[in-house]
Each structure stands twice: as C-alpha cells, then as structure tokens.
Amino acid sequence: MSSTTVRPAHKPYSPKRAVERMRRGDLGAWPVVGGLIAIAVVFGSLNEHFLSPENLTNLALQMAATGTISLGIIMVLLLGEIDLAAGSVSGLCAVIMTIMNVRQGWNPLLAIVVAVAAGAAIGLVHGLLFTRVRMPSFVVTLAGLIGWQGLLLFLLGERGTINLPFDGFVAKLSDTWLPPWLAWTLAVALVGAYGGSLLLGRRLRIAADLPVGPASWAVVRAGLLAVVLAAAVVVLQADRGVPLLLVIFAALVVILDLVLRHTAFGRWMYAVGGNAEAARRAGINVTRIRVLAFVLSGSLAAFGGILAASRLSAVNQSSGGSDMLLMAIAAAVIGGTSLFGGRGRTYAALLGILVIQAITNGMLLLNLDSSVRYMVTASVLALAVAIDSLARRGSTP
C-alpha cells in the first residue's frame, strides 16, 4: 500500500490558527458573516420592516426547503462534482408523496418515506452512471434535470395541480410553532451538547498526545453560539415562535456536520474530494463514496421538495423548478463550499441560503424588480467563487 498522505491531521481550532489561515487566503465563513451583517444594516436602514420579528420568521420559513436541497448539493460538491438534477428530483418526489397521500390514501409518514427512498434511488442511478459508465456528472444530472421534470409532468397529468389537505400532517409541518419552553430547552441543550463536544474532543486529543488549543477558546465559542441562539429565540418568539421547519433544517445541518467531521465516511469524503487518486492508493473505495454522495444528494433533494410542498400546501408543474436549483447551488458556494472539492461544511448551506433569502426578501420589501435581484445574486455568487479561487491559490505551495 502506498504511503501517500490523503489528508493532514486535524489541528485544533484557535485564534492563532485562524489568523494563519486568513494570511494564506482561507477566510472561512467570515466573508459570509460580514455579508450578512452588511445586508442587515443596508436593508434594515432602507426598510424598517426588514428586521421585524414577523419578517425574520418568514425568512426562516422560506429558507428551509431550498437549504435542505443545498445540503445535498454540498455532498456532491465536496467531491468536486455537480448535481444539476436536484431541483427536478425535489419536485418529482414531492409529487410522488402527494399522489400517494392524497389520491391513494396512504399514511403521510409512509408516503414521505417512500418519496425520500425514490430520491435515494434516483441518486443511486446518477451515481452508477457516473462511476460505472464514466459519464461526466454534469451530463448525467443534466439529463436527469430534463428527464425527471418530464416524469413529474406525466404524473401530474392534465390537471397539473394537487392540493394537500390544510389540516393534514404534511401541511402542518410548515404551520407548527414550538412553545417557548421547548424552544429554550432545545437552545440550552444544543449549547450544552456543543460545549460538551468541544471539551470531549480536547480531552481525547490530550489523551492521544495531540496538540490542543486553549480551553478558554472553547468556552468563547460555546458562548458565542449561546448568544446567537438566544437572540434567534427571542426574535422569533416575538412573532409566532420558532417554526418547526427551521428546527428540521437546523437538525439536518448539525447531523450531517457531525457525520462529515467525526466519522470515517466523512473523512473519506474530504479525502476523495481533495485527491481521488491518493485516496484510492490509501485503500478508500472511491467508487462507493461517490455513489453514496449522489444518493445523499437525491435523498435530501426529495426531503427538500416535501418541505416546499408543505409550504405551498400543494404540488404543481413548477414544483422544483424556477430558480430553486440555482439558488441551492449558489447557497452552497456562497456559504464557502469549494467548487473544486475537498473543502466545505454543511453550515455553508445555512449561511449561504441566509444570504440569498435575505437579499431576495430585502429587495421585495423595497419593491425592486426581479432583474435587479438576479444581478445582485449573481454578483454575490461570482464574488464567492473568486474568494474560493484566491484561497486555493494562496494555499498552494
């Protein structure tokens, strides 16, 4: 077996290391955070309703579906590939779920499971065509974008729209709000779990005789998370409360981040994306990792489509269409996921979709034309890719 190093050992996060990364051009999530602050200041000064609890609650609802699809896009982007069929898959699987639930009378939970399984099966087909037939992922998923959209239209038939019961389980997903006690309990539990994971990781590194950062920095990071979560709960509770859709999306972000950072599968994903040949020589089954990435993308696209159907309480011919795919890809890239593979976090979907939805929401409040919104979003996307390219150039020895 080759002694080629697939991925350098993970170093503890510390202020000193963060400064070193910035000097190399790797700015991490800081440009996105700065962009969010700038967006809040600009639109907040131009329209007093932008930062109101009601508008911020609507913003949280709007980003859940596209953000979930963006999580799947990230799985593929980590390998340096692309999934152009995610939008069509989301719409198709939402239609499958709705037909089973409304027309066939299936239990809604069973219909959701089958729809997500259908998305996973579609992802499996894409992955096998990419790995076994050696078709470029761009071509495979471009064909899927067209073909699955055609199947969606076929299943909908001439009527073109299927409404979900307003009092049904699926529709209630987007109209369920956590009571204050539960929202605060979840926030405290999340901060406790995050702080505990930092301390546990530090203890394990010390036991393994690995370098560790200062304990005070772990406390600062947990404190910052507590401040952010407390502010979010206070603002959302000032309106209708914390929406269940936001909790579902956030849970997916956290779970997938833990999988990518703390499991062998996650390390293999980064290794394959960073250098597929080195990963193969190190004994990693590159084909399996690539197929699983497309399966995850299809599954998350399906679930995102179901969340979108819940918001609309219906599916129609435009489900999964319009600019949903482009916004999902843009969210991943703007959030910091590299188009070249090997670098990115699931939090990129959360940060990126926040930027896009905030821009969209702010411009709608200002009654600006959609053409302006598209041009501004394109400029932000181009800037994000430019930063990524410069970061890669700066980190190249």
In order along its 397 residues, the chain shows pLDDT tens digits of: 344 444 444 455 555 555 555 555 555 567 777 888 888 888 888 888 888 899 889 888 888 999 999 999 999 999 999 999 999 999 999 999 999 999 888 999 999 999 999 999 999 999 999 999 999 999 999 999 999 999 999 998 877 888 988 888 888 888 899 999 999 999 999 888 888 877 777 787 787 777 777 777 778 888 888 998 999 999 999 988 899 999 999 999 989 988 988 889 999 999 999 888 999 999 999 999 999 999 999 999 999 999 999 998 899 888 888 788 988 998 888 888 888 877 888 887 888 888 888 888 888 888 888 788 778 878 877 877 776 666 656 554 4
Contact 126, 298 (CB under 8 A): yes
DSSP state string for 4-24:
---SPPPPPP-HHHHHHHHHT
User: Taking a C-beta distance cutoff of 8 angstroms, is the pair 274, 282 a contact?
Assistant: no
Which tokens in the block code for residue 392?
């890669």
Residues 110, 170 contacting (CB under 8 angstroms):
no
Q: How many domains does the chain have?
A: 1
In a domain, residue 3? The reply is no
Question: Is 15 inside a domain boundary?
Answer: no
DSSP, residue by residue, 154-201: HHHTTT-EEEPPTTSHHHHGGG-EE-HHHHHHHHHHHHHHHHHHHHHH
Structure token digits, residue 105: 């009378």
Q: Which two tokens stand for residue 38?
A: 């700038």
Query: 8 lies in a domain?
Result: no
- How far apart CA 172 and CA 100 sit, in angstroms, is 17
Residue 218 resides in a domain: yes
| Inside any domain, residue 2 | no
What is the domain extent for residue 355? 29-38+46-395
Residue 32's nearest CA partner among 396, 387, 370 is: 387
Query: Could you give the CA distance from residue 260 to residue 360 in angstroms, rounded to a whole number?
Result: 30
Residue 6 lies in a domain: no
Q: Is residue 92 part of a domain?
A: yes
The answer to the question of residue 1 being in a domain is no
